[in-house]
Structure 1
């Protein structure tokens, strides 16, 4: 279960949010941006976004993470309400150090899945129990899930979250992330 710690107003370039900080059993601070009134609402747009320091903060073009984050924030802010759940799961849950080691392996010909496996790590080590708890915390009746990842859809559905529809978050590939996106589609089943 999650524990609420703090909230405050968060004006952004896309619109106004309330930022909530929760902790769960992994003892990390997770951020939740809430736009409008989401309590006990239906069809609430929800983006579950895993931390990506290199993309979200530094603007790396090796992935589409930053573009997905900004596109999602812009969309949510344009709606009556919505939530962005920012999970502290760097590098698909393997951590920053292992992610940078994976980048090195990718620089030498491995794809993103092979790079994790060569390190003895899972291709994707994320979990979404925190997201389920956040949706339940706000008593949201159903969500419009902003995702390309079928694992998120399956996890939420299996844990009692009603998904009204999926909203794709498609970002045009660049020369730097095309191979990465192709791998996510072909080996991880992402809906691109």
Structure 2
């Protein structure tokens, strides 16, 4: 079951948005848990909006970690969406779907020399555990038929092509000494279009 919140105004440093939350109850094994996803959208949505589906990264998005490109991509996406009109779908699927606790454990393994994929596998997870079913619900809720998808991730392109007509728009942020290897792994092992 998915619950949808009311809409509210959200002025940001990138521009003014409307904000709305989508509460999803999921079952994993014997446990049921709640994920509260977020949509930030411009007041006007063009026929073919610019859309970023961004997976939560507390360390990158809120703490501005230099280990990844997540915070930079989030900020770049919000700047472009405010200017070109569209929406950001913020999925609460931390650490490619393994959760914050496990992500920190993966970070500890990365400190020993494993890359992000090797660390996830060592913890018993797949390289990417995300589930995009909620995105279809959000596309339908806003009656989107075609989007300009802001991504470098071929797995997202493949997942969303089955949901909606799309054209890909690249999102490139600067590399630094702390995330260079991370970006190389995304490019060589995950096929990211960097």
Deviation at 1:136, TM superposition (A): 1.0
Distance 1:178 1:22 in 2: 34
Q: State the match for 1:15 in structure 2.
A: 15
Residue correspondence of structure 1 range 24-173 to structure 2 within 5 A: 24-26=24-26, 27-38=34-45, 41-79=46-84, 81-159=85-163, 161-163=164-166, 165-173=167-175
Deviation at 1:141, TM superposition (A): 1.8
TM-score, normalization by structure 1? 0.94
Kindly provide the CA deviation profile for residues 142-182 of structure 1, in whole angstroms up to 9, marking residues without a partner as x.
000000111111111123x110x211111121000000010
Where does residue 181 of structure 2 map in the other structure?
179
Question: Are 1:3 and 1:22, in contact at CA under 8 Å, matched by a contact in 2?
Answer: yes
Distance in 2 of aligned mates of 1:6 and 1:31 = 12
Q: Any runs of at least 4 consecutive aligned residues in structure 1 with deviations exceeding 3 A, and if so which?
A: none
Q: d(CA) in 1 for partners of 2:169 and 2:43?
A: 19
TM-score w.r.t. structure 2 length? 0.93
Output one character per residue of 1:13-44: Cα deviation in whole Å (capped at 9) or x when no partner. Answer: 01100000111233311110011222xx4211
Cα RMSD, aligned residues only: 1.1
CA distance in 1, matches of 2:98, 2:6: 27
CA distance in 2, matches of 1:103, 1:49: 20
Structure 1: distance between partners of 2:50 and 2:136: 14
Structure 1 distance, partners of 2:132, 2:106, is 23
Identify which of structures 1 and 2 has the higher relative contact order when contacts are C-alpha pairs closer than 8 Å and 6+ apart: 1
How many residue pairs were aligned?
A: 187
Q: CA deviation at 1:2?
A: 3.4
Structure 1: gaps spanning 5 or more residues:
none
